[in-house]
Structure 1
Amino acid sequence: MNPTENRTLLMSGVGIVAAAILVVALVSGGSDTSTSPNDSTSTSSSSLVDSSLVDIEPVTTVPGTDSSTAPATDPVDITGEEPTSDEPCVLTVRSLAGGDTGPSVTCLQEALIVAGFLNSAATGVYDNATATAVEKLQTDRDLYVDGKTGRETALSLGVWPDEASLVIHTPPPAPGAVDLLGYELSSVATSGPDTPPLPPNSGSGRRLVYERAGQRIWAVGEDNVVIRSWLVSGSKYNNETPGSHAVYSRSDVSTAWNGKAFLYKMVRWLKTDIGAIGFHALPIHRSDNTPYQTDAELGTRLSGGCQRQANLDADFTWDFAQIGTPVIVI
Structure 2
Amino acid sequence: MARNSAGTFVAGLTAAALAAVGFLAYQASAAQDRRGPVDDRGTAASASPSPGAAEKGREDRERPEDREEAALPADSGAGERVVYSLRGDRVWLVGANEQVTRTYRVVPGAVDPLPGEYTVSEGGRTERVTGSDGVPVAHVVLFTQVEGVVVGFSAAVDGSLPEGPPKEGTGGIRSRAADGEAMWRFATAGTKVVVVP
Normalising TM by the smaller chain, what interval? 0.5 to 0.7
Name the SS of the counterpart of 1:240 in structure 2.
coil
Question: Which residue is 1:187 aligned to?
Answer: 55
Residue 190 of structure 2 corresponds to residue 324 of structure 1: yes
* Mapping of residues 66-215 of structure 1, within 5 Å: 184=52, 187=55, 196-215=70-89
Report the counterpart of residue 180 of structure 2 in structure 1: 314
| Compared CA separation, residues 275 and 236, structure 1 to 2 (3 A) | closer
Report what 2:109 is aligned to: 235
Alignment CA distance shift 1:225-1:254 (3 Å): same
Aligned to 1:307, the other structure's residue is in SS state strand
Going from structure 1 to structure 2, the CA distance change for 1:176 and 1:257 (only over 3 Å counts) comes to: closer
How much has 1:242 moved relative to structure 2? 1.2
Once the 2 structures are TM-superposed, how far is the Cα of residue 305 of structure 1 from its aligned partner?
1.6
Whole-angstrom CA distance in 2 between matches of 1:215 and 1:267: 17
Using structure 2 for the length normalisation, give the TM-score: 0.59
Unaligned runs of 5+ in 2: 1-44, 60-66
Per the TM alignment, residue 253 of structure 1 is displaced from its structure 2 partner at its CA by 1.1
2:142 matched residue in structure 1: 268
| Aligned mates of 1:292, 1:228 — CA distance in 2 | 19
Question: Structure 1 pair 292/227, CA: closer, same or farther in 2 (3 Å)?
Answer: closer
Normalised TM-score (structure 1): 0.37
Unpaired segments of 5 or more residues in structure 1? 1-173, 178-183, 285-289
Superimposed CA distance per residue, residues 112-150 of structure 1 (whole angstroms, 9 cap, x where no aligned partner): xxxxxxxxxxxxxxxxxxxxxxxxxxxxxxxxxxxxxxx
**Aligned-residue identity in percent:** 28
Q: Within the alignment, does 1:245 sit opposite 2:113 as a pair?
A: no
Q: Which has the higher strand share?
A: 2
- Whether 1:223 aligns to 2:91 is no
Letter in 2 for 1:207: R
Structure 1 residues 227 and 186: CA distance shift in structure 2, 3 A? farther
Which of the pair is proportionally richer in helix?
2
- Count of aligned pairs between the two proteins: 138
Change (3 A) 1:323 1:244: same
Q: Per chain length, whose mean CA-contact separation is higher, i.e. which structure has more relative contact order (CA < 8 Å, sep 6+)? A: 2
* 1:31-50 deviation digits (Å, cap 9, x = unpaired): xxxxxxxxxxxxxxxxxxxx
Based on CA coordinates, which of the two structures has the bigger radius of gyration?
A: 1
CA contact (8 A) 2:149 2:171 kept: no
